[in-house]
Structure 1
Amino acid sequence: MAQRHNHYEAAFEALLREWRTPYVAVDEKRRSLVAQQTGRQSLKSVDFLVSPPGPTSYLVDIKGRQFPSGRTNKQYWRNWSTRDDLRSLAEWARYFGDDFAPVLVFAFELTADRSPVPPDDVWHFRDRRYGFVGVRLADYWHAARTLSPRWDTVSMPTEAFRQYGASWRTFLGR
């Protein structure tokens, strides 16, 4: 296993290995140029291709966040993403076809006593605790609202995120 510099991705990869879930970790050093016909210059790479037993595999884009975020004004359920991330994930799904479902996995580093996942789903890695919440891209797009026009970011309202998001364990049928 190559050393990943992003601790959120490293924790997710360790979880996949521990659960013996087949996956491919994508080298993100270069953006793909396959999208020439779409008019886009490049595509952001997905982080993982995950193939648990069953008919569906996943194109996974990891979004590392803290739970809660903020030092003075604690914010829970922060789930922002860039529109470029969403468009790239959708384009990869088009290339891979119907057997691959595009999913955003919010890797929450737990910084307090609360968690977005049940206690049995909290993952311990390198002296940190994580809760992995997956949201299918279609659900995220449907509920996403503009967060910052300047940074071209969007997020789901908390209620929608809690409705559509699920512990990563459920995506693996565990």
Structure 2
Amino acid sequence: MSRNSVPDFAELLRGAQHSAVHLEMRDLYAVGDEAGLIERFARTGEIVLDPTASFWPGWLATVQDALARGVVMRRARIVSEPVTDYIRWEHAVTALNLGAGEQVRWLPRRRASDIALPGNDFWLIDDRLTMFHFFTGDGDWADPAFEITGDPAAVRLCATAFEAVWERGVPHEKYTV
């Protein structure tokens, strides 16, 4: 499927009826829409929790729309410890995700060794569609940046992996960085 023929994530989420789960497995992301915030945090330690700043307004509105329709949104992150500065920043700004209604858990990588994981981060919508995200080695979006599949084996792998990570994961409010 070419990138031009697949929906963007907001469109994909608008089609969700009951669940949207996201598994993140990288210790560093360097995507353009976060770059300024990350640089500021690295320089000053300052966390910007303004829901009207940067990319947050669009994201938070998308989440709130899905939740209003009854979609449950869960996000799990597998992280190396000690955590990177990026993960420290991500942990701090997760307050915005939680405020919008997402549920978030963290799993130390050492506790994920026996979980069969896909090779890429993903969103799984209604246990029927998987959107894999592709990144370069330094954490920026690759080209193409994503692929959507309804392949039953890929969907099953992602659903099983996510649930295993979620089961072992530490709720955000109990995980310290």
User: TM-score higher than 0.5 here?
Assistant: no
Q: Give the structure-1-normalised TM-score.
A: 0.32
Greater fraction of residues in strand: 1
Greater fraction of residues in helix: 2
